[in-house]
Chain A
């Protein structure tokens, strides 16, 4: 663990410098500990792949004091303390088809697989959430099967439709709203990633695991999916 200054009122805690499951588990454990302190002086706690950014109230702690607090609280982070059998498995129904999955055929071609094999590989894994950001509810999920690894588009699209399920390198994600982006799109979901009507706002949190479930066009439309 390494604590660095991030700004006048924030620090960043690093748990490693490579994207690994172990580092991600440390981030999640630290995030949980900091949340559970329920300390109003800890204003923002932003977990990502290998780090946690923390914004704090400088009227309560100066840099030296916050560093001491963090060193004390995060001293014995045990990654085993995170239950790997996460109860929070979120299933996202996906309509995989070239009609909405603009890059489905290209990804299959590049990976020397059939379209059906791409769908089967993408929907067979249980993904970990590595980070949430970029847009409200945009969850970075990993890792996709090595065989599906496809680099980002050279020219990003100006508009990726809301609900698009996409991959980039070993990551996969769902676009919570229309936005520009350069990931390879495989399909579309009617699942709401950011829902202002929910108390939790997002059904996916850093502790979730995510599974994709292939559905038909009819099912997608009946769930409120839009073409």
Chain B
């Protein structure tokens, strides 16, 4: 029998993701990709994986996998109840998995998304240059659908073992409140000083409309002097302000073009933190200059250069 995981229970929303699908936005194909790049790339780093590898993004608990061969896994992201053969284990470290071992995530305790990587990734085929599942476009692994019971996740069997654990100080703590840094951009000039002041001095609540496409907020209403705009390309993290004045932050699976005024864009590395927030939790915005933002971005990715 080939080596891989038998999916005994898939969980409600488990996807295969990688860094995303690029250079097809011009024909309307979204980027997709793992929402929390910090956790996902760390999962790969723990295994010395290439950063182009794929892994599982698990949004609700209830996943149960059975190994048919030896491998090494790492689990990062949301704080969860993770068990190997019914014994509770901690996350942000590697585990050597033997044939017939059962892996389970039974509860997500803090945060929203768990990442489960195997050594060298799952051996599946890419579609349009990426493994990433995009549900609305039916692209990527398993023809663009969520994982289901009975699926098979092939990997190449590992002979060597590896023990690696992230130092506690590097493990993020998922809090109930988050400050998102914003680069003023796009139609920012159509927002008066007063409106911008309101925007940066308010506390917004994350609504249940939080998914891989976007995060809708509720709180102080912001007005643009523009009614709408001519549809244009939407950047990752762009904050659009529709007529009701409630900001929407656009994430990895956003539409490629759209027509609402935008006050600015959330720094991408802060969107990764947003991916671990839940409805009802609070966020605040803080301005950051483009030069400082670019410095922060480079510093973030410098940790993940091979």
Interface 1/0 per residue, A192-205 and B, CB below 8 Å: 00101000011001
With both chains docked as a complex, state the minimum distance between the C-beta of A193 and any C-beta of chain B, in angstroms.
9
For B186, the chain A residues whose CB sits under 8 A away are 4-6, 12
CB atoms of B290 and A6 under 8 A apart? no
Neighbour of A44 across the interface among B22, B136, B137, B268, CB < 8 A: B22
Bound state CA distance, A210 and B236, in angstroms? 31
CB atoms of B298 and A59 under 8 A apart? yes
Q: Which residue of B lies closest to A55 (CB)?
A: B235
For B166, the chain A residues whose CB sits under 8 A away are none
Check B227 for interface membership: any CB of A closer than 8 A.
Answer: no
CB atoms of A135 and B232 under 8 A apart? no
Q: Which residue of B lies closest to A140 (CB)?
A: B231
With both chains docked as a complex, state the minimum distance between the C-beta of B51 and any C-beta of chain A, in angstroms.
14
Interface 1/0 per residue, A36-78 and B, CB below 8 Å: 0000000111111111110100110011000000000000000
- The residues in B between 92 and 142 inclusive whose CB is less than 8 angstroms from any CB of A are 127-128, 136-139
- The residues in B between 260 and 304 inclusive whose CB is less than 8 angstroms from any CB of A are 265, 267-268, 290-291, 293-294, 297-298, 301
Of the stretches A85-93, A109-117, A126-134, A151-159, the one at the interface is A126-134
For chain A, the count of residues having a C-beta within 8 Å of the partner chain is: 44
For B237, the chain A residues whose CB sits under 8 A away are 7-8
Check B222 for interface membership: any CB of A closer than 8 A.
Answer: no
Check B23 for interface membership: any CB of A closer than 8 A.
Answer: yes
Q: How many A-B residue pairs have CB under 8 A?
A: 137
CB atoms of A137 and B235 under 8 A apart? no
CB atoms of A8 and B27 under 8 A apart? no
Q: Which residue of A lies closest to B250 (CB)?
A: A7
Bound state CA distance, A51 and B233, in angstroms? 8
Check A105 for interface membership: any CB of B closer than 8 A.
Answer: no
The binding surface of chain A is classed by DSSP as loop
Bound state CA distance, A8 and B298, in angstroms? 10
Interface 1/0 per residue, B150-173 and A, CB below 8 Å: 000000000000000000000000
For B185, the chain A residues whose CB sits under 8 A away are 4-7, 12
Q: Which residue of B lies closest to A204 (CB)?
A: B27
Bound state CA distance, A6 and B262, in angstroms? 9
Check B12 for interface membership: any CB of A closer than 8 A.
Answer: no
Neighbour of B183 across the interface among A7, A45, A194, CB < 8 A: A7
Check B238 for interface membership: any CB of A closer than 8 A.
Answer: yes
Check B228 for interface membership: any CB of A closer than 8 A.
Answer: no
Interface 1/0 per residue, A1-31 and B, CB below 8 Å: 0001111111010000111000000000001
Tell me the B residues contacting A by CB distance below 8 Å.
22-29, 31, 127-128, 136-139, 183-186, 230-238, 255-258, 265, 267-268, 290-291, 293-294, 297-298, 301
Shortest 7 CB-CB contacts between residues of A and residues of B: A53-B233, A46-B233, A7-B265, A133-B257, A7-B235, A5-B185, A133-B256
- A–B Cβ pairs within 8 angstroms, 25 of them: A6-B233, A6-B235, A7-B236, A7-B238, A7-B268, A8-B237, A8-B290, A9-B235, A9-B268, A9-B297, A12-B185, A43-B23, A46-B256, A53-B233, A53-B234, A58-B294, A59-B298, A134-B255, A135-B28, A135-B136, A136-B29, A137-B27, A138-B28, A201-B24, A201-B29
Q: A9-B294, A51-B230, A202-B27 are in contact. List 15 more A-B contacts (CB 8 A).
A: A5-B184, A5-B185, A7-B238, A8-B183, A8-B294, A8-B297, A44-B233, A46-B26, A53-B25, A53-B233, A133-B255, A133-B258, A134-B255, A136-B27, A201-B29
